[in-house]
């Protein structure tokens, strides 16, 4: 097609194919990978404990645990994150309190204080837990330095929430030059209707989106 000859339907079709069928053109090389387990903490995963519980995250625990074990067996670093009280909350974005994802009247001071990882995914003694003050795992944390010191240029992302902490971490990793592998069925949202919408955006512009079985197949 000649330059300047694109119709509106042409560009809409190309964008749609990118969102639905796009596939980042890099290979998954296990020696270059680190697994990021995003915010699989009690506040989001422990059933019925807080209004921030993500039921799908609880259901995905066995699948995430399986991937964690594969990575451990293959000497792929496993790094956990949790949203916790850091620096007396003075390092959080100042406008966060205005956002409607906070639930007024449901504020137990024990929530999001220690950032305890859900018991079935308890990190090993030598595994890193990054306590982060906002959505993305790179914001005001040493994650980038840690990955560079581990000589890892590819991050595999699983956890919750797909369209907040997981998706933001994928974007931040992309912007820092990391290759991003994003688990399609080992990430979860508090509103299931948002899952595929976020995967479409990530698939087109930020990450290679794969199922947990596909990820494990490539690591093995």
In this prediction, the residues of the chain whose per-residue pLDDT falls under 50 are 1
Task: Identify the pLDDT of residue 114.
Answer: 84
In whole angstroms, give the CA distance from residue 150 to residue 147.
5
Task: Identify the pLDDT of residue 6.
Answer: 84
Q: Which tokens hold the place of 105?
A: 């009247």
Q: Quick one: how far is CA 45 from the chain centroid?
A: 15
Task: Identify the pLDDT of residue 180.
Answer: 98
Task: Identify the pLDDT of residue 97.
Answer: 67
Which one, of 95, 101, 89, 103, lies nearest residue 132 by Cα?
Answer: 89
Peptide bond before 161: cis, by omega within 30 degrees of 0?
A: yes
Domain spans in the chain, listed from the N-terminal domain onward: 24-88+109-219
List, for residues 48-76, the tens digit of each pLDDT value: 999 999 999 999 999 999 999 999 999 99
Average pLDDT, the chain: 91
In whole angstroms, give the CA distance from residue 216 to residue 135.
26
User: Can you tell me whether residue 92 is helix, strand or coil?
Assistant: coil
Q: Which tokens hold the place of 37?
A: 């387990």
Question: Residue 158 gets which letter from DSSP?
Answer: E
Which are the contacts of 202, defined by CB distance < 8 A and separation ≥ 6?
Answer: 167, 170, 180, 182, 209
State the residue for tokens 């079985």. 213
Task: Identify the pLDDT of residue 192.
Answer: 93
**186, 212 in Cβ contact below 8 A?**
yes
Provide the H-helix boundaries in the chain: 8-21, 42-45, 55-73, 143-149, 167-175, 195-205, 212-219
State the residue for tokens 């994650």. 143
Q: Which superfamily, per CATH, for 24-88+109-219?
A: Isochorismatase-like (3.40.50.850)
Cross-strand bridge partners of residue 180:
155
Task: Identify the pLDDT of residue 156.
Answer: 98
User: Can you tell me whether residue 155 is helix, strand or coil?
Assistant: strand
């Amino acid at each position: 097609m000649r330059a300047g000859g694109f119709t509106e339907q042409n560009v809409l079709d190309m964008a749609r194919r990118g969102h639905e069928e796009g596939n980042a053109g890099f290979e998954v090389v296990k020696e270059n990978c680190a697994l990021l387990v995003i915010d699989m903490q009690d506040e989001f995963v422990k059933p019925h404990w807080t209004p921030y519980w993500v039921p799908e995250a609880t259901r995905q625990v066995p699948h995430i645990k399986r991937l964690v074990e594969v990575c451990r067996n293959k000497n792929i670093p496993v790094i956990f994150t949790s949203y916790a009280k850091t620096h007396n909350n003075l390092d959080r974005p100042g406008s966060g309190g205005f956002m409607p994802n906070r639930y007024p009247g449901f504020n137990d001071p024990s929530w999001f204080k220690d950032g305890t990882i859900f018991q079935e995914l308890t990190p090993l003694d030598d595994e890193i837990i990054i306590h982060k003050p906002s959505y993305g795992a790179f914001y005001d944390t040493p994650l980038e330095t840690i990955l560079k010191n581990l000589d890892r240029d590819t991050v595999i992302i699983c956890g919750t929430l797909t369209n907040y902490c997981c998706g933001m971490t994928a974007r931040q990793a992309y912007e820092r030059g990391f290759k991003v592998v994003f688990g399609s069925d080992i990430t979860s949202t508090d509103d299931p209707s948002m899952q595929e919408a976020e995967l479409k955006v990530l698939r087109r512009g930020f990450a290679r989106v794969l199922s947990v079985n596909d990820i494990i197949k490539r690591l093995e």
